Structure 1
Amino acid sequence: MEGGAFAQFLPLILIFAIMYFLLIRPQQKKMKQHQAMVEAVRRGDQVVTQGGLIGKVSKVKEGENEVEVELAENVKVRVVKSTIAQVLNKTEPAK
């Protein structure tokens, strides 16, 4: 009887393992990469927000979770760091 109960749960366990390796694990890896990219954003980087706006980072507020992005000359907006979708051009690291 015990062997039969285990045999019934084996497909469920296999399905969960396959879902973990095909869906959950890659998504966690992607989230970590995004978080590292967002933390590495600094002044002068050209970024794309999730809303599709492209601009240059003019100020990074260290204590807070936001950056100031210049969309056009004298047009600056405050953007939450996590809404940065992509960094187009990185600036050289300060020496």
Structure 2
Amino acid sequence: MSWLLAAEPASGSGNLISMVLPFVLMFAVFYFLLIRPQQKKTKTRNSMLSQLKKGDKISTIGGMHGTIVELTDDVVVLRVNDTTKITFERSAINNVITSAPSATAE
């Protein structure tokens, strides 16, 4: 039984590196394949939502197409035909189909 207690000491630094290295590699793979692309997509979407303006033709997440007639921080009112206006949350906007010409002074 004394041979169990007198085991050879393992090399601490080499053993620690070989245990931690797979976790570091897994985190790096997750970061570059999952986390970073999602952050870029979120940044692009938030930029698009902040640049909305009256006259933009957009589509919503549900597939409704329309033109922005009113805009606040949280709410967007779309004109879907000559008489119908529908109110949506700004976050429901999926993409801008055509952007309205900017009103710049010449």
Same fold by TM (over 0.5)? yes
Partner of 2:23: 12
Aligned residue-pair number: 93
CA RMSD of aligned residues (A): 1.0
Give the aligned residue type for 1:85: N
Partner of 1:37: 48
Higher relative contact order (CA 8 A, sep 6+): 1
Larger Cα-atom Rg: 2
Q: Identity over aligned residues, as a percent?
A: 33
Normalising to structure 1: TM-score of the pair?
A: 0.91
Unaligned runs of 5+ residues in structure 1 are none
Give the aligned residue type for 1:25: R
Partner of 2:64: 53
Q: Deviations over 1:7-33 (max 9, x none)?
A: 112111101111101111011011111
| Partners of 1:35 and 1:82 within 8 A in 2 | no
Counterpart-to-counterpart distance in 2, 1:83 and 1:10:
42
Counterpart-to-counterpart distance in 2, 1:70 and 1:9:
57
Give the aligned residue type for 1:54: H
Deviation at 1:2, TM superposition (A): 3.2
Runs of 4+ in structure 1 deviating by more than 6 angstroms, as ranges, are none
Unaligned runs of 5+ residues in structure 2 are 1-11
More strand by share: 1
Task: Please state if 1:92 is matched with 2:65.
Answer: no
Partner of 2:38: 27
